[in-house]
Structure 1
Amino acid sequence: MYKQPLTEELASHFKKVNDFRARIYQLQNAWDSLALLAQLSGTGSEMEHTRSAFNTISNDVLHHLSNETLHKTAAQLSSKAFVIINLLVRNLFERTADIGFFATDDDVRDFLQHHAAGALEARHTDNIAIRFQEYQKKYTVYENIVLFDAQGKLIHQLESDQTTLDDQHPIVALAQQSDAPYIERFYETEINGRTYKSLVYAHTVRSRDGRTVLGVLCLCFKFVNELDTIFRNLISHDDWAIGVLLDEQRHVIASSDAYQIPLGATLCAEPAQDWFICRFSGREYLCVTKQSEGYQGYLGPGWLGQAMIPLEQAFNHTMREVVEHIDPDVLRKVMRSPLIFSDSLLNIPKQAASIQSKLNQSVWNGNIWQSNYVDTQQKNFSKTLLCEISNTGHKTQQIIEQMVSELYQTVVSVMLENSSFYAQLAVDIMDRNLYERANDVRWWALTYSFRALLGQNHLSVDDKKKVSSILGYINSLYTVYDNLIVFDRKGEVIAVSNHRYEALVGTPLQEEWVGRTRSCQSTQDYVVSRFEQTALYEGKHTYVYAAPVRHLDGNSIVGGIAIVFDSAPQFEAMLKDVVPKDGDNLPVAGSFTVFVSEQSHVIASSRRDIVVGNSFELMPAIGKLQEGEQLFDIAVDQNTYYAVGAHAAYGYREYKGPQDSYRNKVVAMIFTPLGKVDEINQRISAESQIIHNKFNPNLFLEYGQETQEYATFYVGNTWMGIETRHVLEVCDEGQLRTLPAAAPFIAGMHAYRDEVIPVIDLARMLGHAHYFTDYRQMIVIEDKARNLKFGLFVSALGEIPYLSQSQIQPMHSLFKGGSHNPGIAIANIAQADAHHSMLTLVTAESLWQKAVARHAVQADALAVS
């Protein structure tokens, strides 16, 4: 049983979201109380619009945060489910090639022929036993090798105590009746009360002429061991997620936690859904199911990978460990990227600031009204109330900004984690692939014909043709190789599999790994070249794997076999498989992957301008990674921010393991674009020019007999103030009629109530280079004694402090050429922060006089010209 509920139905499980929601509810209660008090006291401040706007934007952010919280967990589960099925299918693809090749083995044929003739001797049994043992030593993914005769009788197996397969097993008849390149079947056998699982690959063994079926060979894959390995690398001990593998009937055939999801249980699975809720054994799980994407046309047995996590634990993740080591300045910039965030999300902080600015405007006007029209006792109470209204707005704005920051960080952390995850997948795929190469070269070195022919003192032309024929057949089955080479004990090339390299035949190999090949001590030893340019691969970079060919007596090395990995297309395919995908399962535009050697040289790259063999210097920190370690960071390359995940290879099974002398640390890096540097900087620069109202009535409420109240405001970053008795109110810019002949700092005429007043653009008068008119406000100033009334465009509103005469220093001549400066005094506001400690005081008269004077200067200049 499953369902896919709306995100809101999961809201009770979003702990971080619910913490924010609780804080918003508390503030909403405070708004209710303040609204009632404001109505009763007549503060002149209108809050209903503010409350409604903050409520709308809060709900919007909570909705987005809920969706991203769900997406983060679903993305993690999706990655795990993807790996479970696709890593397994890649492994099984190699098995489909193994069975077809091993079924043509001469030793296996000879054994079956002697068995059919009733001529088996002890030496034949010993030989086949050694042959099976050698195969399993190389290909440790098999737990048993079983051989049946043509009548279906089990005549030999590697592990005699295993009884998964027995006489007349159904797979024998299936193989005999099939023309397919392999038979693949999954079996569960109960032995002594225990269930054994085995994935078996079968193929008929035929005579050399192909006419007679001699028997059936079966390779038993280490199914349980392989899934345990995948689960162990995928799910850490402190991870609540569970990985399962489901068969075609949705039965659990492998589980990372059999106590929660036992083997044999039937689960719901929905590969078509991004995520779904499944109830099992009285518990609800968030689940993601993935089908195999297939590998080189092989789709696997039709199984499904599924990852699931209990709902009560699904959303308890934290982003601290993901982003705590990221440069805060870089992270701040990335969180303003239009590439990963929509305009609606990017504008939320600006909207919140705008709402608070509107509230501050209302509170500012309320204070002006209280200062000019209310008696002192009522004024103190009202101003305190207005202060609390503004503070509540600030708290609401801060919570919204915190929620938005959490939202932004959630999105960025998902991209960082995805990059790191795909980097781990990349090195896992690489090591698993190269593990097979080490197996192949050692196994083919044991080919009977190679050993027999190279053991001769002289090879005829026919002998060399035979070797070439065998190499060609092998290469036709194993297309990951560009060429296979057999050379004699002197290093001279005897035969090649690829006709393009026939010129090599008869020439000595000069590569350094040839000498190392002669030093191998056992049939388990092999050597690998450096990743370098070689004539054996048309001058391109690749790995060459080699192993010695031993005499049939096993006492001497008579030559060797080298296999040239077709690195260019093979690594390209690996990189393609690990490129991050978007919501439509398409590669993320601009993302790329790089394999880098321990010497920081490029092994492979999905970006054309990153050349194989060149040094890679973009992420020097990867040089410090130890095997199996990872890192994620944000890097800048070609004017682009990238989420970078890096993971150092850690080997697979015995390959590059503790018992393996071969070491080759490769680091995979996944780069996912986060945005263009110049676009982000331009956006941040534009946003920094916007000055929202900074009114905070918490400051400067001390009222005294020798104090005067000042209304302050900002023009650009200049803090200025005027006595409140000269201020009527602040209002938004309405219709403004410009005056063509007026100076630039005379903005025009503005309709105010039932009259028209001139408006001074103080920013232009003060010579501010950058001034954004979209956010300016108009303060209406009146000096009745001098019959002055005009508007003043300002950038933002400030506090309304009480100032004593001791704080004010007259300014007769502060600036050279000070005729354009309307300031009459400087107030030293010790209570304010350092940035706002100096306040320029003006009067209605000084403002108007400076405007008139500047206009006259300009008019004279025009007349002279």
Structure 2
Amino acid sequence: MTATVAIKTETFLPYMRDVAKCEQSLQELNLMWRVIEASAKMNCPLEAKTILPTMAATRNGFSRLERELVSSLVEEKVRNVLAEIGTKAQYVIDIVVRNLFERTADVGFLATDRELCNFVAGIHDSADAARYRLREYRNKYTVYDEIILLDTEGNVLVQIDPATPLEHSADPLIAQTLQSDTYVETFRATDLRPAKDRALIYSRRMHHPHTGAVIGVLCLCFHFEEEMCGIFSAHRDPDARANMLLLDGDNRVIASADGLWIPPGTVVPVNRDGHARLMMFCGREYLVRTFASEGYQGYPGPVGWQGQVMIPVEVAFSGIVSDVLSTLSPELAEGLLAHAHSFCPPLYDIMTAAKTIQRIVWNGQVMTAGQRGEMMKLKTILDQISETGNRSNELFAQSIHDLYQTVLASSMRDAEFTAGLLVDLLDRNLYERSDDCRWWALTPELRAALAQTQIDAASSAKLTDILTYINGLYTVYTRIFVYDRNGRIIASTGDDSAALLGSSIDAETLAQVTSLRTRQQYHVSKFEPSTLYGERDTYIYHAAIRDLQHDDSVVGGIGIVFDSTPEFFNMLRSGLAGKAKTKAFYVDRSGRIISGTDDTRPVGSLLDIDPALLQIANGEHASRVTEHDGQYAIVACSVSNGYREFKVSDGYKEDVIAVVFQSFGAVSLNGAQTGGSTYLLESDPTASDGMEYATFFSDHNLFAIAAANVMEAVPYSDVLPTSMGSRPEQIGVLGLQRDDAHKEFIWVFDLGQLMRGSKSAVTSSSQVMIVNHGQHTIGLLVDELHAVPQFNQAQIIHTPFAMQGESMLVTQVIKANQGQLLIQAIEVERLFGYLIDGSIPMPPAPELVPNAEQTGDSQLLAA
């Protein structure tokens, strides 16, 4: 959810030093525009009349920009912080609910364990055997710190935590559980866990294995404090500027990443609607995001629980930002910047304003080229505009750099966090799979049956019933199967189970399973296609089944087929949480896709990604700006680091990398814009009677046209597209306002296509130069304006030219900067001669329909 209430600029501006600096720069620029405009009106009103309207429009534009840009920058930063803390707040509650969902399945299964039911029913009275079995369970499912069996009167029959010995409990949850036909979830203080202020307990009633009578209660005590500590330490911001919290339905803190800052039991303000407002807590103002859980597979989570992140406003906008831009190639940086209008509108406004200043100065210099006398006053005005514009552009450039940096760095942090969340979801989920296969391998009925030399159809059917019951509780598996010491499958779930009976698992897997030495060990197949999963790729978890009488004797094994296709996809989709223009993948170290949200890249194919990102260390993350599928994008990776003992100390190693791509826009066809600052011209103080040229960029090259033939430049957005053109170079028409208040429409040609035969890509820097020769006027699309310098005759040299390509129009080269920079000069006569008398004659200019202006609808007719 994004903020929906208008953000008050004055509330947040004092905490944003960079935006305040930008505001000051805009105010100074606005003042200078007023001074220059007034000076032009007083000193050369006639000479400046052609640019005064443009100057006034620009000044008015900057007045608006001063008001709106700062507000937009503030909104961008506030929403950015709210989005970042919101992602983490949602993660806190979602990961807790996903974890607790597994507990609801565990208590339901363990409460029907035949060995435990026999003990509670009094069929056997070995408390030591029951305690041993419970500890075996705890050894697999290490998220529990206590497991208790009680009779119907609350008497404790057996427990596994020796630190808090119990004899009896009077907790109401016992009566509630005895009356319920499902699990009971309890979180509060209880005499079942006397050493804790509160405990999270999942309880379920137990039944007599023969009569079905209710005989007692099983309590699984979740190690809540340890789990929350793990979540906070892994996903809190490294600088600890914000606090992550878990709240109950009364907005009271259940768990805190920093208990000294905001201790458990404290009531805090919440922000469930995501509005951008400051919230007071203990005399300090905070930005806050709060999320409740949407549930997981039908489990809603504990009633009222919420995830929340709070960050003090005075530090919310002052995080350390790495210099992302310095790591990008100029082509990549400029190309990404061309999409500023989509991913950061305020940045685009600044860029547009800077281009406007450049065009005003360039137009004024073109207009005064070759002029003397009173026009020299206008030159002075233009010099003031240029000088002020240059100073302002330096401030703009820094503002652009800082804002661009902030947007990219924030997006990269968010992508890295999302990738970390995705790989954490995977590790946590697969941890449960490793627990399940090892626990189910201890099922007495399976162990007894496999110890027999012959397994008849009745025994096979009985084992299938057991597996079917288990599979019904744990729906993340498409199949659970059991095989004997020779690898022959003797029981299986699934619609095609009958066809599998009698077939064998592969020899390599059988060898791995039979070599497992302890009950804590397990084996996982490679992620590859399997006949047990319809020839699709998946993981299959195996554990050895041991003889009941001789624990060191392996009599077979159990395999559980993880339903990887929907489960992995759902993890990726939930982790992305609806992020626009974002795709995610799980890949292995070779880049082979395990799962993805991109339908064009199937499981098993290779993901095109920087190989260095596939080599980052376990638990680490990284992000880059790159090109992906023809888009400028951020790519972020995070490598699995295990969960609890899974992939950490249990001997299993299978690195999975979560990859997130966030796209910003299509890759520019013509790459980076060259930029005038890259080609600064050195002035020659001795030059006095030289010729003035209008210089500009096209296709990354610097060109020149005699300034006497150039009227002005206008933004490409003024061009009207039309289908009347008969040649590919014609890209539209342009209306020029004349002194008689009528518009003259001229053709606009793509200079790049004229010279090299391929269409030019239009960017935010694209301009149309109005060029005149004799009775003809045309517009030329160019990539960017440069300057209007003066060169003496000695700097201009003729060059041989061919009959096609660029040299067809370029007959001279200008040696600038003492010969270190060569500028190609386009001969206007040849340009117009080609358009008029070439093999394809230049079309006549379009005309206005008579009285069209009076109708307010300018229509064009082909002459």
More displaced 10-residue stretch of structure 1: 534-543 or 315-324: 315-324
Deviation larger for 594-603 or 28-37? 28-37
CA distance in 2, matches of 1:16, 1:604: 41
Q: CA deviation at 1:59?
A: 4.4
Task: Pick the aligned partner of 1:535 from 531, 536, 548.
Answer: 531
Aligned residue number for residue 861 of structure 2: none
Identity of aligned residues (%): 29
Moved more, 604-613 or 291-300: 604-613
Q: State the one-letter code of the partner of 2:597.
A: S
Q: TM-score, normalised by structure 1?
A: 0.80
Distance of aligned partners of 1:607 and 1:777 in 2 relative to their CA distance in 1, 3 Å threshold: closer
For 2:664, the equivalent position in structure 1 comes to 674
State the alpha-carbon separation in 2 of the partners of residues 640 and 15 from structure 1. 33
Q: Please name the residue that 2:860 is paired with.
A: none
User: Kindly tell me: are residues 467 and 700 of structure 1, through their superposed partners in 2, closer, same or farther at Cα, counting changes over 3 Å?
Assistant: closer
| Mapped partners of 1:339, 1:504: distance in 2 | 59
Note if contact 1:580-1:672 (Cα within 8 Å) is conserved in structure 2.
no
SS at match of 1:19: helix
1:242/1:307 contact within 8 Å kept = yes
Alignment-derived partner of residue 704 in structure 2: 719
Match of 1:125 among 120, 124, 127: 127
| Equivalent position amino acid for 1:95 in 2 | R
Shift of 1:157: 1.6
2:689 is aligned with 1:708: yes
2:189 alignment counterpart: 188
Question: What residue number does 1:170 align with?
Answer: 172
Instruction: Pick from 481, 484, 499 the counterpart of residue 503 of structure 1.
Output: 499
| Structure 1 letter corresponding to 2:576 | V
How many angstroms does 1:125 deviate by?
1.4
1:523 aligns with 2:525: no
1:211-258 CA-partner distances (Å, limit 9, x unpaired): 311111111111111111111111143241211000011100011111
1:322, 1:416 within 8 Å by CA — same for their partners in 2? no
One-letter amino acid of the structure 2 residue matched with residue 558 of structure 1: V
- Aligned residue for 1:250, secondary structure, equals coil
- Give the secondary-structure state (helix, strand or coil) at the position aligned to 1:320: coil
Q: Is the 8 A contact 1:368 1:727 kept in 2?
A: no
Q: Secondary structure at 1:6's aligned position in 2? A: coil
Question: Which residue does 2:235 correspond to in 1?
Answer: 234
Report the CA distance between 1:602 and its aligned residue.
2.4
CA shift in 2, pair 1:767/1:145, >3 Å: closer
**Conserved? CA contact 1:206–1:215, under 8 Å:** yes
Q: CA deviation at 1:763?
A: 10
**Structure 2 counterpart SS, 1:131:** helix
More relative contact order in 1 or in 2 (CA 8 Å, sep 6+)?
1
Structure 1 equivalent of residue 18 of structure 2: 16
**Pairwise CA distance, 1:653:** 0.4
Shift of the 23–456 alpha-carbon distance from structure 1 to 2, 3 Å rule, reads same
- Distance change >3 Å, CA 268–CA 364, structure 1 → 2: same
Query: Partner of 2:117 in structure 1?
Result: 109
Q: Measure the CA separation in 2 of the matches of 1:161 and 1:834.
A: 83
Aligned position for 1:784? none
Q: Secondary structure at the match of 1:226?
A: helix
| 1:478–1:25 Cα change, 3 Å | same
Partner residue, 2:80 = 72
Q: Deviations over 1:409-462 (max 9, x none)?
A: 544444444333222222111111110111011111111222233334444443
The equivalent residue for 1:575 is 572
Structure 1 residue 776 corresponds to structure 2 residue 769: yes
- Match of 1:652, SS state, is coil
Match status 1:647 vs 2:641: no
CA–CA separation in structure 1 for the residues paired with 2:12 and 2:289: 16
1:633 counterpart letter in structure 2: R
Asked whether the equivalents of residues 416 and 632 of structure 1 are also in contact (C-alpha less than 8 Å), the reply is yes
1-structure distance, mates of 2:334, 2:808: 38
Alpha-carbon contact 2:285-2:313 (below 8 Å) kept: yes
Note the alpha carbon deviations across 1:679-707, whole angstroms, 9 max, x for none.
x327x69x88xx999999x9748479xx4
TM-score w.r.t. the length of structure 2 is 0.80
Q: How far apart in 1 are the matches of 2:599 and 2:735?
A: 61
Q: For structure 1, which runs of at least 5 residues remain unmatched after alignment? A: 583-587, 735-743, 782-787
Once the two structures are TM-superposed, the CA of residue 564 in structure 1 deviates from its matched residue by 1.7
Is contact 1:205–1:214 with CA below 8 Å preserved after alignment? Answer: yes
The residue identity in structure 2 corresponding to 1:177 is: Q
| Partner of residue 138, structure 1 | 140
Number of residue pairs matched? 802
The answer to whether the 8 Å contact 2:592/2:605 transfers is yes
1:504-558 Cα offsets, whole Å, 9 max, x none, are 3334433412212111221111111111222222332221211122222324222
- For the pair shown, which has the larger CA radius of gyration, 1 or 2? 1
Q: Report the aligned-residue RMSD.
A: 4.9
Alignment-derived partner of residue 205 in structure 1: 206
Q: CA deviation at 1:621?
A: 2.9
Q: 1:36 to 1:149 in 2, by over 3 A?
A: same
Q: 1:634 to 1:501 in 2, by over 3 A?
A: farther
Q: Give distance in 2, aligned partners of 1:597 and 1:825.
A: 57
| 2:746–2:777 CA contact under 8 A, matched in 1 | yes
Choose from 611, 617, 624 the match for 1:626.
617
Q: How does 1:71-110 map to 2 (within 5 A)?
A: 71-110=79-118
Asked if the contact 1:61–1:403 (Cα under 8 Å) also holds between the matched residues in 2, the reply is no
Q: Which residue of 1 aligns with 2:856?
A: none
Corresponding residue to 1:656 among 647, 655, 677: 647
**Residues 282 and 166 of structure 1: CA distance in aligned 2, closer, same or farther (over 3 Å):** farther
* CA contact 1:701–1:801 (8 Å) conserved in 2: no
Per the alignment, in what secondary structure is the counterpart of residue 775 of structure 1?
A: strand
Which residue does the alignment assign to 1:464? 460
Secondary structure of 2:664's counterpart equals strand
* Partner secondary structure for residue 82 of structure 1: helix
Q: Deviations over 1:699-731 (max 9, x none)?
A: 748479xx4375443488543557xxx999979
Alpha-carbon distance between aligned partners in 2 of 1:764 and 1:261, rounded to the nearest angstrom: 63
Corresponding letter in the other structure for 2:646: Y
How far apart, CA to CA, are the structure 2 residues paired with 1:790 and 1:471?
A: 88
Aligned to 2:597: 606
Measured in 2, the distance between the counterparts of 1:466 and 1:851 equals 93
- The Cα shift of 1:580 comes to 5.2
1:263 corresponds to: 264
CA distance in 2, matches of 1:593, 1:638: 14
Q: Give CA deviations for 1:300-321 in whole Å, capped at 9, x if unaligned.
A: 0131111121111111235535
Alignment check: 8 A CA contact 1:418 1:580 kept: no
In structure 1, C-alpha distance between the alignment counterparts of 2:324 and 2:798, rounded to whole Å: 57
Amino acid at match of 1:462: A
Task: Note the alpha carbon deviations across 1:601-643, whole angstroms, 9 max, x for none.
Answer: 3222333332323344444333312211222234445434443
Q: Would the alpha carbon gap of residues 206 and 333 (structure 1) be closer, same or farther in structure 2, given more than 3 Å must change? A: same
CA contact (8 A) 1:250 1:268 kept: yes
Moved more, 422-431 or 437-446: 422-431
Q: Give the CA deviation at 1:498.
A: 2.8
CA separation in 1, counterparts of 2:556 and 2:829?
102
Deviations 1:55-109 (A, max 9, x none): 4335444333322222222221111111101111110000000001111112221
Deviation at 1:188, TM superposition (A): 3.5
Q: Report Cα offsets for 1:168-212 as digits up to 9, x if no partner.
A: 111111101222x21111113699998533211010011124631
Q: Does 1:432 align with 2:433?
A: no
Do 1:598 and 1:623's aligned partners in 2 also have CA atoms closer than 8 Å? yes
**Distance change (3 Å), C-alpha of 1:709 and 1:54:** farther
Look up the match of 2:223: 222
Q: Does 1:282 align with 2:251?
A: no
The more displaced of 392-401 and 794-803 is: 794-803
SS at match of 1:626: coil
Aligned AA (1:110): N
Q: Could you tell me how far 1:399 is from its partner in structure 2?
A: 3.7
Cα 1:656–1:827, aligned 2, differ >3 Å: closer, same or farther?
A: closer
Distance (Å, rounded) in 2 between the aligned partners of 1:292 and 1:384: 66
> Does the 8 Å contact 2:107/2:183 carry over to 1?
yes
* Closer/same/farther in 2, CA of residues 480 and 353 from structure 1, 3 Å limit: same
Which residue in the other structure is 1:292 paired with? 293
Structure 1 residues 22 and 753: alpha-carbon distance in aligned structure 2, compared to 1, 3 A threshold: closer
**CA, structure 1 residues 481+323, in 2 after alignment: closer, same or farther (shift >3 Å)?**
farther
Q: In the alignment, is the contact (CA less than 8 A) between 2:632 and 2:666 conserved in 1?
A: yes
| Alpha-carbon distance change, 135 to 453 in structure 1, aligned in 2, over 3 angstroms | same
